[in-house]
Structure 1
């Protein structure tokens, strides 16, 4: 099947909007004593919470991810491959860049800690460099569940995301009612899993135009009702001080936004595909897609680099939220974009080396794993470490996080264990057919 450029575009768009959104709401203020604080824009200026409706488009990443994973897993099954090596191959494409990123940041944390850098400053920097990590454990869990989710999709189709959504609404209602917090984490898999599962349905042509129009309108109306008549805030990013939020864990309002956004995206698909036919557009989408993991991981580093100007008193200041402050957002974004371009250029050799390493250590398409239990244990270690860092940052309490660092390293190593390179051995007189890429 020909690769769908629109799917690649959605993933690139989601990453770019996350980067832009994080940059826009990040505010640095130099205190009279010379220190730097980062006031929370969404809490200080409540009307800015409406901006999150435009920047929270991660549902599109999960939708596109489900579309791609559904095709990849179907091809792997057809080639006789099994789940463990398929998952290892996909997981390593995320974990190796994430591991390189964590290693470099943690080395910096260790050096700064040994040099006596203030722990509160180090904790803030470590949190800023890990704030995007929430996505990785959720996506890895959905990838691990793909064989089961796709089997359910083949049997029940659209009933699967409908059932997942119903359970997510029930769980979200219980969380809002004050039921023990253990119920909440289920919705990370259920709500984002609805978008992922809709990706399967999209790829198999089950989302007709009338249905997607109903998703867009129904989801939008449900979201409007939940934020006006219900207990949920408009912000699609957690705001300090809120008793009820939409993302931590994902709420029924976030689920409504997922459905609405998926519907709009699919309605726009024909026109978008026509616009994406150009060669130059295709190259741009391809470049952003290839650099998406690097963009996602490293996009807060330019903020820390820009903080040097604030520490030196060289950055222009204006009252938070004033007209002058908003005007300064334009050069702020331009400076960060230039810095990120430089970071990407410096990291390009590392990015290519990690790509080659991934191909070298990952199981080939159609492989079988000799010790799948160890592979699943490795994935569990990585997911646990990433989840910990997403909550506490890469320098919790201003210290080097030794246990999660060891867990992540051990987990990644387990994912690279030896494997058998073919799904089955050819019979006498047969020639082994080349495995098909399950990208």
Structure 2
């Protein structure tokens, strides 16, 4: 329904993920560098922390795809389910690329400070003009790094206090971003929806558009204004006790949140147990309440059931994590390239493209994860810089 597209202004929170990611990565890289860590060592540790749970999730989905393929499940149904289980993966290759670029981006931040995000944004605008006007192949892919890179770079600025010295700065970001978004939607070719709508062109997310960039700046400004009161709220022990477990389960929620949707849909709709009133009718809206409650309960059960797996992955991470002082080891870079390519493939085509098992992406993700886990410094490097191996790296 067209009017519900306005709700995406509140539901589209990916700018906040990249803003918080930049804030965390800037601090982590600054600490690692001060302790004698290297870019390769730092990146290997961060990449592995993401890739281990992703590999487990992907392995489970791929196993299900293989079983369903052997059982003769309808190819179109399998392709749709495989796409639904992989559509959130677009975030991972973008975030891994920004992580790989963090030492360079942070060096630019230390030299030019708050001037870097506007420059990235200007280049993104040029790329978006080309996408809308000329439709050149592959140019739009740049904006996945440029637009989300603006939020990532703003995270550096936030951490180092460049945006919080005066209240006027976040106010200007919030107001300017909202006004720019309104102008781009009213006068330009961009839709209001901040999620992809079938048949809608151009899209604000695929690739990220100038309108998404404007809303990103607005969200960052609002976040800066809200940060201080929210920190005071989180200082209350009861609130922190409630928030902390959700934060600890964030990766599980991110990876597995579509599973309850598919299970409940299959159990209630494919079997005819649930009524299917007309879309947008009063009965349809009334059914959203039990639908969300059932999904929430099932998701809570999934998260609880996966807790032992999370603890096991934590142990595996500590045993296989690359050394903080790792230098330019080829397994790390080769593994990262394979993993990014495979994750991008899953994000675009799903886990069962055309109803078939995706052999090459599956092998690429598995091999890439193993290579990142195998990255180590040589014995000579350990003897040369033993202090780096002992340096803590808070990821």
Same fold (TM over 0.5): yes
**Is the Cα contact below 8 Å between 2:89 and 2:347 reproduced in 1?**
yes
1:380 corresponds to which of 330, 334, 337: 337
Distance in 2 separating the partners of 1:299 and 1:418: 31
**Is the Cα contact below 8 Å between 1:110 and 1:400 reproduced in 2?**
yes
Aligned to 1:405: 362
Distance in 1 separating the partners of 2:390 and 2:45: 17
Which is richer in helix? 2
Range 95-104 or range 317-326, more displaced: 317-326
Q: CA RMSD in A?
A: 1.7
**Is the Cα contact below 8 Å between 2:196 and 2:206 reproduced in 1?**
yes
Aligned to 1:25: none
Aligned to 1:261: 219
Q: Say if 2:318 is the partner of 1:362.
A: no
Aligned to 2:115: 159
2:376 corresponds to which of 400, 415, 419: 419
Map of 1:422-433 to 2, 5 A cutoff?
425=383
Q: Say if 2:353 is the partner of 1:396.
A: yes
1:337 corresponds to which of 296, 318, 324: 296
Query: For structure 1, which runs of at least 5 residues remain unmatched after alignment?
Result: 1-44
Aligned to 1:185: 141
CA deviation after TM superposition for structure 1 residue 313, in Å: 1.2
Residues 170, 318 of structure 1: alpha-carbon distance in 2 compared, 3 angstrom cutoff: same
1:212-239 Cα offsets, whole Å, 9 max, x none, are: 1110000000000000111100000111
CA deviation after TM superposition for structure 1 residue 420, in Å: 3.1
Tell me how many residue pairs correspond in the alignment. 391
Q: Say if 2:255 is the partner of 1:297.
A: yes
Aligned to 2:195: 237
CA deviation after TM superposition for structure 1 residue 373, in Å: 2.5
**Is the Cα contact below 8 Å between 2:151 and 2:220 reproduced in 1?**
yes
CA deviation after TM superposition for structure 1 residue 367, in Å: 2.3
2:228 corresponds to which of 255, 270, 275: 270
**Is the Cα contact below 8 Å between 1:377 and 1:411 reproduced in 2?**
yes
Aligned to 1:108: 64
Aligned to 1:310: 269
Residues 398, 59 of structure 1: alpha-carbon distance in 2 compared, 3 angstrom cutoff: same
SS at match of 2:138: helix
Report the TM-score when normalising by structure 1.
0.86
Report the TM-score when normalising by structure 2.
0.96
CA deviation after TM superposition for structure 1 residue 179, in Å: 3.1
Distance in 2 separating the partners of 1:188 and 1:433: 34
Residues 420, 108 of structure 1: alpha-carbon distance in 2 compared, 3 angstrom cutoff: same
Q: Say if 2:12 is the partner of 1:56.
A: yes
1:348-379 Cα offsets, whole Å, 9 max, x none, are: 11111111111111124x3224x522211110
CA deviation after TM superposition for structure 1 residue 130, in Å: 0.6
Range 314-323 or range 74-83, more displaced: 314-323
1:264-298 Cα offsets, whole Å, 9 max, x none, are: 00011111111111112212322112111110110
Aligned to 1:321: 280
Distance in 1 separating the partners of 2:345 and 2:47: 18
Aligned to 1:93: 49
SS at match of 2:306: helix
CA deviation after TM superposition for structure 1 residue 342, in Å: 1.1
Residues 224, 349 of structure 1: alpha-carbon distance in 2 compared, 3 angstrom cutoff: same
Aligned to 2:83: 127
Query: For structure 2, which runs of at least 5 residues remain unmatched after alignment?
Result: none
